[in-house]
Amino acid sequence: MDLLSQLLALTPVTGHLDIRCHFGAPWLLDEPPAAPLVIRYHALLDGEAVLEDADGHTPMKAGDIVLFPAGGAHRLHDGGGAKPRPLRAAPGAALTVVTNGGRGAPAEVLCGRFVFAAPAERLLRDFLPRRLIVSAAEAAGRLGRVVALMREESLEQGPGSAALIGHLSAALFSLSLRTAASETEANAGQRSLLALASKPRLQPALTAMFDSPGRDWTLPALAALCHLSRATFVRQFLDATGRSPAELLNEIRMAQALRELAASQDSVAAIGEAAGYQSEAAFQRAFKRHVGVTPARWRAAQRAAALNQSLNPPPPPTAAPAHKPAQ
């Protein structure tokens, strides 16, 4: 499989569209840090906005999409500097509609979140950029059509809209990563797994780590696959990701182990061996450092949670926003 398919196989994601905003300037959305296992996103459908976060102030135009893999706090506003008007939320059948009654320049924003499984958290947090911007030009085509369908469903809110919007939102995540994987002005210079994917010389090592994480890979062996010296291989890898090859390999191995612990009936020892650990004791130590508990305890907790959910399914969604817009 290609890199993106391999990454998504290790990091299953569900999508949620929480609010559709219809604003007139002055307006402001103020987002605190995201909860664990959550990546927030905004799609600016109409108008202009300014994104304000740890990387500074970034202008956005209609059609732009921004994701926050690192979960950082951020603000989205009209950029005029005036005191924002208070927001009014109207829960609907599929999502909440937020307005502010402003008479200035209009803006329309879709705000949602991607929720991923525990095995994926560090792989996504550490190896994707802090934020990921897909410009309107880049979002044309399939990605633009997905956003357009989400907009239509959020406006109509017909039977099944909530479920359909969720599926479309998950597709939005995959297509956004695919689009951003190519070098773009908005994301240029950001160290990430996507930057690594754009370097053909390093592809053999990257493919090997994802295809066969259980092999006893060494730096010389991975470098040899790329026809590079060990030092050059490590330097280019660090330049692209900000992390070492060993760190990425360990994250892939642990994500695979976590996935198998949750989904299979294999023994802890067999899962650890398949993930590349030389002994059950080595796997136990690495797992506890990574997760904080033993593999057996983590697996038991996952099964207990799944059983509890099957016996006590969650209530139907109330369409309340996942976050509270700033007043």
Are 98 and 241 in a shared domain?
no
Regarding whether 79 and 155 lie in a shared domain, the answer is yes
pLDDT at residue 107 tops 90 = yes
Q: Is there a single domain that holds both residue 13 and residue 135?
A: yes
With respect to residue 135, please indicate whether it lies within any of the assigned structural domains: yes
Whether 325 is covered by a domain: the verdict is: no
- Tokens found for residue 113: 């979140």
Domain boundary among 145, 180, 215: 180
Residues 254 and 231 in one domain: yes
CA atoms within a 13 Å half-sphere pointing along the CA-CB vector of 265? 0
Measure the CA–CA gap between 21 and 95, rounded to whole angstroms: 11
| 160 and 210 inside one domain | no
- Using CB atoms within 10 A of its CB, is residue 40 exposed (0-12), middle (13-18) or buried (19+)? buried
Q: Which residue has the higher pLDDT, 157 or 218?
A: 218
Q: What gap in Å lies between CA 110 and CA 309, rounded to an integer?
A: 29
Residue 325's pLDDT is what? 46
What is the mean predicted confidence (pLDDT) over 158-186? 78
Indicate if 211 and 252 belong to the same structural domain. Answer: yes
Range of the domain at 175: 3-180
Checking if the pLDDT of 85 tops 80, the result is: yes
Give the Cα separation of 19 and 64 in Å (integer).
17
Please provide the average confidence, as pLDDT, over all residues in the chain: 84
Q: What is the CATH number of the domain that holds 74?
A: 2.60.120.280
Give pLDDT tens digits for 176-231: 887 776 644 444 556 677 777 678 898 899 889 988 999 999 999 999 999 999 99
Q: Percent of the chain scored above 90 by pLDDT?
A: 40
Position 139 pLDDT exceeds 50: yes
Q: Note whether residue 250 is domain-resident.
A: yes
Total tally of structural domains belonging to the chain: 2
Residue 94 above 70 pLDDT? Answer: yes
What is the C-alpha separation between 112 and 99, in angstroms, rounded?
16
Q: What is the CATH number of the domain that holds 212?
A: 1.10.10.60
pLDDT band at 67 (very low <50, low <70, confident <90, very high): very high
Q: Do 156 and 236 belong to one domain?
A: no
| Residue 77 burial (C-beta neighbours within 10 Å; 0-12, 13-18, 19+) | buried
**Would residue 230 count as lying in a domain?**
yes
Q: Phi and psi at residue 265, in whole multiples of 5°?
A: -100, 5
Contacts of 126 (CB under 8 A, 6+ apart): 243, 247, 251
Give the span between the Cα atoms of 64 and 239, in whole angstroms: 27
Pair (166, 72) in one structural domain: yes
In this structure, of 60-69, 185-194, 219-228, 284-293, the range with the lowest mean pLDDT score is 185-194
Q: What is the pLDDT of residue 313?
A: 52
Phi-psi label, residue 79: left if phi above 0, alpha if psi -120 to 50, beta otherwise: left
Q: Is the pLDDT score of 1 beyond 70?
A: no
pLDDT in tens, 232-270: 999 999 888 888 999 899 989 998 898 888 888 999 999
Q: What pLDDT is attached to residue 181?
A: 65
The mean per-residue pLDDT over the stretch 145-156 comes to 87
* Structure confidence at residue 186 (pLDDT): 46
pLDDT value of position 321:
42
Predicted confidence (pLDDT) at residue 123 exceeds the cutoff of 60: yes
Could you give the maximum distance between any two Cα atoms of the chain, in Å? 66
